[in-house]
Amino acid sequence: MATIKRFEDIRGWQSARDLTNLSYKMTSKGDFSKDFGLKDQIRRAASSVMSNIAEGFDAGSDAEFIRSLGYARRSASEVQSQLYTALDQKYISQELFDTSYKKAEITKKQINGLIGYLKKSKTKTIRETNPPYTLDPPDQ
């Protein structure tokens, strides 16, 4: 696995960003844009995937990161569930449903892969390599 230095390097976060952009685009058109409850819910769930990955990355321990990744995965499932409502209400086409659902599925698989990696990790904490600062007090 490549070294991850920022949460933006995480493939699951990148896919979650794509999912969020898809959610915003699909909810800004037609009748979907007028269903404020569903529009808000699907946007918040998609954004939650990104946010939980980013938050977990800075949690300080693998256990906390895994917990946040679990929240992210569940939010992606929430998006998938809401896509059914949007499809049933004819807010989106079957093609857009399939594209969005698959993006959420890919995101969940990437999150699962990272969870599996972290569970096998021996460090149990996230460590910085070559931090640009020191914890030692300055000489006086």
Mean pLDDT value across residues 67-73 = 97
pLDDT at 131 over 60: no
CA atoms within 13 A on the CB side of 63: 1
Residue 135 lies in a domain: no
pTM of the entire predicted model: 0.84
Q: What is the pLDDT of residue 98?
A: 98
Quote the number of domains for the chain.
1
What's the confidence (pLDDT) of residue 22?
A: 97
How far apart, in whole angstroms, are the C-alpha atoms of residue 105 and residue 124? 27
Residue 74 domain-assigned? yes
pLDDT in tens, 9-64: 999 999 999 999 999 999 999 999 999 999 999 999 999 999 999 999 999 889 99
**What pLDDT was estimated at residue 25?**
97
Helices (H), 28-135: 36-57, 62-88, 94-120
Distance, in Å, from the CA atom of 130 to the CA atom of 128, rounded to the nearest integer, reads 6
- Tokens 């300055």 locate to 138
Distance CA 54, CA 118 (A): 15
Residue 31 structural domain: 10-120
Q: Is there a domain that residue 133 lies in?
A: no
Residue 96 lies in a domain: yes
* 129 domain residue, yes or no: no
Does 134 fall in a domain?
A: no
Flag whether 14 is in a domain: yes
Question: Does the residue 1 lie in any domain?
Answer: no
Give the up-direction half-sphere exposure of residue 71: CA atoms within 13 A in the CB hemisphere. Answer: 17
Average pLDDT of 103-127? 85
Give residue 138's pLDDT: 54
Q: Residue 135: pLDDT above 70?
A: no
pLDDT-derived band at 123 (thresholds 50, 70, 90) equals low
Q: Report how far residue 132's alpha carbon sits from residue 140's, in angstroms, rounded to the nearest whole number.
A: 20
Could you report the per-residue pLDDT of 5-16, keeping only the tens digit for each? 899 999 999 999
What is the rounded CA–CA span in Å between residue 96 and residue 131? 44
**In this structure, what CATH number is given to the domain that contains residue 111?**
1.20.1440.60
